[in-house]
């Protein structure tokens, strides 16, 4: 206990030089911490600005590409090809309507349907349909050599 009191007494004998030295050390340490923090935040800001600029360039490029794309014909006109192709391969087409929860639900108009028939015929018809009109193909179920394949034909209104 006496040792601790002696240390406190030691502080009482400090001169103004000691206090100035402590103040200078605190000032310099605070200044260095502040400057390093400011530099770190500035570099993070620069990185964020670069990322934002890259995103803007990317979005501008996508917008230019989209502006160059052709507008799809109306989905009604697109659908006219489906029965002709299905008949060519001996496949039955059934219309499922325009709203189906497990099929295409995006910004374009879509008519949904199913192809039914022999497995090979359904697959060849589906391939030709997909090559002819914008189409999403969905699950296929095969049973005893017969297949059922869901699809969505896309177009504008």
- % of the chain exceeding 90 in pLDDT: 27
The phi-psi region of residue 131 (left if phi > 0; otherwise alpha if psi is between -120 and 50; otherwise beta) is alpha
Q: Could you please report the per-residue DSSP string of 37-95?
A: HHHHHHHHHHHHHHHHHHHHHHHHHHHHHHHHSPPPPBHHHHHTHHHHHHHHTT-EEEE
Dihedral angle over CA of 58, 61, 63, 68, nearest 10: -160
As a whole number, mean pLDDT of residues 95-105 equals: 72
- Which one is predicted more confidently, 150 or 107? 150
Closest alpha carbon to 96 in 117, 124, 116 = 116
CB neighbourhood size of 138 (10 A): 14
In the numeric block, which tokens belong to residue 84?
């002709």
Provide the CATH number for the domain formed by 75-155 in this structure. 3.30.1360
Please determine, for residue 1, whether its predicted confidence score (pLDDT) is greater than 60. no
With tokens 């192809």, the residue in question is 115
What is the pTM assigned to this prediction? Answer: 0.54
Question: pLDDT by residue (tens digit) across 141-150?
Answer: 889 989 999 9
């Amino acid at each position: 206990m006496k040792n601790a009191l002696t240390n406190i007494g030691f502080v009482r004998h400090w001169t103004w030089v000691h206090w100035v030295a402590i103040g200078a050390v605190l000032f310099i340490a605070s200044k260095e911490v502040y400057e390093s923090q400011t530099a770190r935040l500035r570099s993070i800001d620069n990185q964020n600005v670069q990322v934002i600029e890259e995103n803007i360039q990317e979005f501008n490029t996508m917008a230019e590409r989209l502006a160059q794309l052709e507008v799809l014909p109306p989905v009604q006109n697109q659908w006219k090809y489906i029965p002709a192709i299905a008949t060519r391969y001996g496949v039955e087409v059934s219309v499922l309507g325009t709203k189906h929860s497990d099929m295409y639900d995006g910004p374009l108009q879509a008519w949904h349907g199913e192809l039914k028939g022999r497995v090979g015929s359904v697959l060849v018809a589906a391939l030709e349909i997909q090559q002819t009109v914008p189409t999403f193909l969905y699950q296929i179920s095969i049973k005893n050599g017969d297949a059922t394949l869901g699809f969505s034909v896309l177009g504008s209104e």
